[in-house]
A = this chain, B = another copy of it.
Amino acid sequence: MFSSIQMPKGFKCAGISAGIKASGVKDMAMILSETPAVSAGVFTSNQVCAAPVKVCREHLAYGMARAIVMNSGVANACTGEEGMVAARDMAAETARIVGCAPQEIFVCSTGKIGPQLPLTKIVAGISKLFDEALCTNVQQTAEAMMTTDTRPKVSVAEFSIDGKAVKIVGFAKGAGMIEPNMATMLSYITTDAAVEREALQRLLKQAVDASFNRISVDGDQSTNDTVLALANGAADNAPLNEASGDWPLFAKEFSRVCFELAMMIVHDGEGADKFVTVNVSGAESDEAADLAARAVANSMLNKTAWAGSDPNWGRIMDVLGYSKARVVENKVDICYGDVPAALGGARSSAPQEDLVRVVSQTDFVININLHLGEGAATVYTCNCTEEYVRINY
């Protein structure tokens, strides 16, 4: 699927089976920069966060990184001091093999909360990643990141800065538990562009807010969410910051990679087969619009109605009414695509079959206008099928 995609200059990557999950399934990945890369990171806002997230936060303060090493199968969350030691050991062992300081290593884990990391397998996996699997092809790495994902997620941008070819390659895993703050979501954005550290951190934050933080699968948030960006400068451009003439181009491409990955995550929501864009406009503020859009996107009654291709705008009215956004019932317009379902809070004259036609699509838009102000927000979500329940048994 992505086997023709090569990493940005100066990056290598690998994905292998370390025996953490069922035999033969890839469960560890590594991304390595040949030289220290400027690094940026955004993490879960959950009060309960995994040991690797705590370690990443510490290491991010160092500012430069050589590698990201990750495992799936075990989240190393709620594992106490033993889990912290394991996460540090995972970084130290990677640093030893790479030949750098432990602070130059980011560690990530995803999987079940509670069990301790199988450190012997992890250590053996790190050797195997480094010794046997490192290459410049992204396919195996993207596969090794998957948990309940049905397909690997990679997005690429290539463009020129200062006449130098620049490349961005982003990876992500997602599937379930995707809500406001990127739950059980890992994403790594690598680029050979030279970027100043603080500018990269600000850009990553903005790009995440406009992408991973705008998607919702099931309203749950994870302990392990991590988005990391590494910029190693191998493209040899003059280091970029917000004042650079090429910054808008770089920022646009970087943000597009994040957005594409976020959309891939929603399209691959656990058990989902419909992609739904919820636009709210006319709210009292952007924050109110966001509250309204998230409430609609997260409602199980809406998600199940979409699964049944039922243009049940009454359920949307109900959800808007109990959202934390101010709503005045007789001002609300709800359209499925361009077809009005409710105008002024009551049923429109549009034929039911026109509404059904929109909701029967695998990808449709719901436009809600609260007619109270200028606030607007968009949330991307998916339906909920019986398959979701089966997956999460």
Contact, CB under 8 Å: A77 / B314: yes
Interface membership of A322, Cβ < 8 A: yes
Interface membership of A240, Cβ < 8 A: no
A216 to chain B, nearest CB (A): 11
Interface membership of A220, Cβ < 8 A: yes
In A281-325, the 8 Å CB interface with B consists of 299-301, 304-305, 307-308, 310, 312-315, 317-322
Per-position contact with B for A51-71: 1 when CB-CB < 8 Å, else 0? 000000000000000000000
Cα-based distance from A215 to B274 in the complex (angstroms): 31
**Looking at the complex, which one of B80, B183, B329, B389 makes contact with A346 (CB distance below 8 Å)?**
B80
Given the known inter-chain contacts A47-B329, A48-B327, please indicate yes or no for A318 contacting B221, CB distance below 8 A. Answer: yes
Contact, CB under 8 Å: A389 / B386: yes
Contact, CB under 8 Å: A220 / B301: yes
Interface membership of A45, Cβ < 8 A: yes
- Total interface residues on A, using CB and 8 Å? 63
Closest Cβ neighbor of A384 among chain B residues:
B389
In A308-361, the 8 Å CB interface with B consists of 308, 310, 312-315, 317-322, 326-330, 332, 342, 344-347
Contact, CB under 8 Å: A223 / B48: no
Cα-based distance from A186 to B385 in the complex (angstroms): 28
Contact, CB under 8 Å: A114 / B314: yes
Interface membership of A392, Cβ < 8 A: yes
Cα-based distance from A314 to B48 in the complex (angstroms): 10
Q: List the B side residues contacting A199 at CB < 8 Å.
A: none
Contact, CB under 8 Å: A218 / B301: yes
In this complex, which of A308, A322, A346 has the most chain B Cβ atoms within 10 angstroms of its Cβ? Answer: A322
In A37-51, the 8 Å CB interface with B consists of 45-49
Cα-based distance from A114 to B312 in the complex (angstroms): 9
Contact, CB under 8 Å: B392 / A317: no
A to B CB contacts below 8 Å, 7 in the list:
A46-B322, A112-B314, A113-B317, A115-B347, A218-B300, A218-B301, A300-B300
Extra 14 A-B pairs, beta carbons < 8 Å, given A78-B347, A79-B346, A223-B318 = A45-B322, A48-B329, A49-B329, A78-B346, A80-B344, A113-B312, A113-B317, A114-B314, A114-B317, A177-B301, A219-B299, A220-B315, A307-B389, A308-B393
Q: Name the 6 nearest CB pairs between A and B, nearest first.
A: A113-B314, A48-B321, A308-B393, A304-B392, A80-B346, A386-B386
Question: Residues on A close to B: CB < 8 A?
Answer: 45-49, 75, 77-80, 82-83, 112-115, 176-177, 181, 183, 218-223, 299-301, 304-305, 307-308, 310, 312-315, 317-322, 326-330, 332, 342, 344-347, 384-386, 388-390, 392-393
